[in-house]
Amino acid sequence: MLWRLVKFLLLVVVLVGIGLSVFAYLGDLSPTPREQSLSVTLDAN
């Protein structure tokens, strides 16, 4: 019974590792670049 749990946890760890490496390789979370302009009013004393 304990051996089955260890094998299951090992399988989950391996699958999570594979999933993370595939996501890191293929997943692109960088935002798309776009131009922004912001009007600023400066108070001159």
- The 10s digit of each residue's pLDDT in 11-30 is 999 999 999 999 888 877 77
How many Å from the N-terminal Cα to the C-terminal Cα in the chain? Answer: 79
Per-residue pLDDT, 3: 94
Per-residue pLDDT, 45: 67
Residue 4 pLDDT grade (very low, low, confident, very high; cuts 50, 70, 90): very high
Residue 2: DSSP 8-state: H
DSSP H helix total and E strand total for the chain: 1, 0
pTM: 0.57
**Buried/exposed 4-34: b ≥16 CB within 10 Å, e otherwise:** eeeeeeeeeeeeeeeeeeeeeeeeeeeeeee
